[in-house]
Amino acid sequence: MSDPAYSNVVTEHFDRPRNVGVLATAPDVISGRAGSREQGTEFRLTARVAEDRIVEARFQVFGCPHCVAAGSILTDTLVGKDLAFLRTWSWRELASQLELPTTKRGRFLILEDAVRAMADDWARRF
């Protein structure tokens, strides 16, 4: 049974999200967090960095199916990316890819905040 509220991509990543979890704290692990349960959306991102590139990433999210799918796709995308990518990443392309309803844009801005927080953590550590 399909649900008109969610695209096939959202459904696929919601049902089988990639990279769920958190990387244990370590010198080469960066993290970023934004939002809150009270707001209805909270993201936590962690990634391992080696030779100025992300080599693996994980996410956790308290949020709607679009947010789960966003965390799944983003963490796949992050592998191989550098600090500059995190600094300039925008929610818009992912929103378009996932056919995000305009009423949910604020939730992806929270994800963007988490990405920026991770960039700041990277800049502080390396």
Partner 1 sequence: MTQPCIYLDYAASTPVDPRVAEAMIECLKAADTHGNPSSMGHEFGRKARALVEKARAQVANAIGAQPQAIVWTSGATESNNLALFGAAQLHADKGRHIVSSKTEHKAVLDPLKQLERQGFTVTYLKPQSNGIVAPEQVAEALRPDTVLVSLMHVNNEIGVIQDVGAVGRLCRERGILFHVDAAQSIGKVDVDVEAMHIDLLSMTAHKVYGPKGIGALYVRRNPPLALRPLLFGGGQEGGLRSGTLPTHQIVGMGAAFALAAAEREADTARLRVLRERLWRGIQEVGQVDLNGDPEQRVANVLNVSFHGVEGESLQFALRELAVSTGAACSSGSDEGSYVLRALGRNDQLAQSSLRFSLGRFTTEADIDAAIAAVQREVPRLREIAKLSS
Q: Which amino acid is at 29?
A: V
| 108 lines the binding site for partner 1 (CB under 8 A) | no
| 63 lines the binding site for partner 1 (CB under 8 A) | yes
Decide whether 60 or 77 has the Cβ nearer to partner 1.
60
| 65 lines the binding site for partner 1 (CB under 8 A) | yes
For residue 5, CA distances in Å to 1, 15, 36, 97, 105 come to 12, 15, 24, 14, 15
> Residue 96: is it exposed, middle or buried by C-beta count within 10 angstroms (0-12/13-18/19+)?
exposed
| 32 lines the binding site for partner 1 (CB under 8 A) | no
| 85 lines the binding site for partner 1 (CB under 8 A) | no
Task: Provide the minimum distance between the beta carbon of 89 and partner 1 in the complex, in angstroms, as a whole number.
Answer: 21
